A and B are shown apart, each in its own frame.
Chain A
Amino acid sequence: MNFGLQLQGLRKSYGGQLVVDDTTLTVPPGKFLCFLGPSGSGKTTLLRLIAGLEAPTGGRIFLNERDLTDTPAHERNFAMVFQALALFPFLTVADNIGYALRLRRATRGDRLARVRELLALIQLPEIGTRRIDQLSGGQRQRVAIARALAQEPVLFLLDEPFSALDARLRDQMQSELLMLQRKLKITTILVTHDQREAMGLADSIVVLANGRVQQIGAPSDIYRRPANRFVAGFVGQNNLLEGRFIDSQHVEVCGTVIRAAAKAEPCTPRSPVTLCVRPEDVRVNPDDARNANLLHGRIRLVRDLGDRIELKIDCGGRELLSSLSPADWALIPGRESVRVQIAPGAGTILTC
């Protein structure tokens, strides 16, 4: 039976300041998990606790039911790619990749064969003899990944490895990492503050803030059904509308009753709540508007982002952000005074 990685009530504090607070989660074997959060949210510390580079103040770490909390980092057989990559400048590419195998006393033949295999895997078969300072940023990234994978680790950890790359190379490296992870089926945890990176890579995202887990879920759940205002505000763009709770599926906003997604937790009628609506769920002058979820507003700002048109609409003193396709935007006449519809059932009700 596969149990994967389990964190139980993990805590870390520095001089009385809690950096990671009571974190409990499970990473199933072979899955790709992302720790997503702003600077200072404790995501890197949590990764370092898992790696064994920091000792926890409390809680336990298990891998396949084996307690690793007190196991030193070098005995865990976890691999890690650091933000600064930390390649050894005094070794060639091949020696960097073969470092872990050398420590494990692999024969020269086995080591060279594995290095060749990994260089082929990262699609750089010719660079084994080069020095690290002779490589481009993308090549260094790939070599760091190959070096980490050489020891066939049971867990692959990456600490914001793409943050120093330009946007195009970052996209390319993300795709390559995902393909590699799918191919090797290795349990992977990536730390990032980039929600786009997390959404595009992870099977599951852990959103962190102030050292606490805010939400754990599939990317679509995190995006579509944020658990609280922090997640709603941090992951993607969002309209957060103050309103009054009516029932588990309805909220009153600006005097209009809005039908939202069903809320599981009970709430007192007329209590203040926040309706969270994604910009793409804010429609402008819809054809089939049957007066449901309908507001009236004036367009205050239009931004052409190429593939999307972003509108800022003033609805009775509340600003709504809408995102339309260029084709939909072309169909809107007048473009000043508009009807705005919040897609029925799309919004999420958050308790204040």
Chain B
Amino acid sequence: MLRSAALLTWPALALLALVVLPLLLLIRISLAPPDPDGLWTSGVVFDAYRNLAEPAWFATLVYSLCIAVLVAAIGLVLGFPLTLLITRMRRPHQVTWLVLLLATLTLSDVLIAFSWQVMLSKRIGLSQMLVWLRLMPQVDSLTPSVGAVIASIVYLVMPFTMLTLYPSLSAMPTEQLEAARMLGASPRVVFQTVVIPLNRAAALTAFAVSALLALGTYVCPIVLGRPQNWTMAVIISNAALAGHNVPLAAAMSLALVAAALVLIAAAFFGARHRWR
């Protein structure tokens, strides 16, 4: 009895230490007066939250959410069929793909962002290929641009999307797909009416995970985007490091957490919807 109680206690303590305490600390800092020479001073003020009411800041939050949702959607649209394809391969090929996916996670954000910058530059990379394919009139740099920011973040989150989808897609019963075919469904209709509904929960989890990861990206928008393409993570960082206003950064972080919770709630509300 005592042992089982002890076993249950440690996750609760871990949750308290790693989530609740930092969150309480963040709330406390957001209510403190800023100290330009240090982090913050004692006392309680609501200045940081008053700053959040500015339309420019709110526009950045909405922009960041839109980028996150768009990245997650692109990741899902590309990652779902690709993961399905991997699960239909023979076992050794599946393992090779999974190892490759995991290997991309070892690359740092900085390395990925600068690799994309090289790839999208004027002198080498994608631009020349697009000209050769007659999709672009002349060689030009594709950065900085919002497209470059989105593409690089999609690259960053795709392994997470695919690894979240993989268990569900690989365990999918093939008999249900065959049953649909016997009932007259073409492969495309089987995908739409059976594969997607069977993996709806996994797809929405993958969507939520990718959107949250995209919401927190920092390096890619700075390296590959213009200031107007910067996301919330960059704005928060600037407030804390350049503006020396740690309470404002804390308040903005809390607002971002709230927005992330809304996003997760929306994704899981969507998971309850059924195909009819």
Residues of A at the B interface (CB closer than 8 Å) are 51-53, 72-75, 77-80, 82-84, 86-91, 95, 99-100, 103-104, 147-148, 150-151, 157
Contacts and interface: CB of A to CB of B under 8 A. Distances in A.
Interface in B193-236: 193-194, 197-198, 200
B88 to A, nearest CB: 15
Closest 10 CB pairs of A and B: A86-B179, A86-B175, A100-B183, A90-B197, A80-B182, A73-B181, A86-B176, A82-B175, A103-B184, A74-B181
A86 B274 contact: no
Contact of B182 (A79, A84, A89, A104): A79
Given A53-B178, A82-B175, A82-B178, A99 B197 contact: no
Contact of B184 (A84, A86, A100): A100
Contacts of A88: 176, 179-180, 194, 197-198
B275 A77 contact: no
B186 interface: yes
Nearest to B198: A90
Interface string B253-276: 000000000000000000000111
A84 B180 CA distance: 14
Given A80-B179, A95-B276, A103 B173 contact: no
Given A84-B175, A86-B175, A88-B197, A51 B183 contact: no
Given A84-B173, A86-B176, A90-B274, A51 B197 contact: no
14 contacts: A73-B181, A73-B182, A74-B181, A74-B182, A74-B184, A75-B184, A78-B182, A86-B173, A86-B179, A88-B197, A91-B275, A148-B182, A148-B183, A150-B183
Given A88-B179, A88-B197, A150-B183, 6 more contacts: A73-B182, A79-B182, A82-B178, A86-B175, A88-B176, A90-B274
Nearest to B179: A86
B129 interface: no
A75 B183 CA distance: 9
A107 to B, nearest CB: 16
Nearest to B182: A80
A100 B193 CA distance: 11
B179 A82 contact: yes
B183 A99 contact: yes
A78 B184 CA distance: 9
A77 B184 contact: yes
A74 B175 contact: no
Given A82-B175, A90-B197, A103 B182 contact: no
Given A90-B197, A90-B200, A104 B179 contact: no
A80 B185 CA distance: 13
B90 to A, nearest CB: 12
Which of the listed residues A86, A87, A91, A157 has the most CB atoms from chain B within 10 Å of its own CB? A86
A326 B274 CA distance: 59
Interface in B156-170: none
B198 A51 contact: no
A77 B181 CA distance: 10
A99 B177 CA distance: 13
A204 B182 CA distance: 24
Given A95-B276, A103-B189, A86 B181 contact: no
Interface string B133-147: 000000000000000
Contacts of A73: 178, 181-182
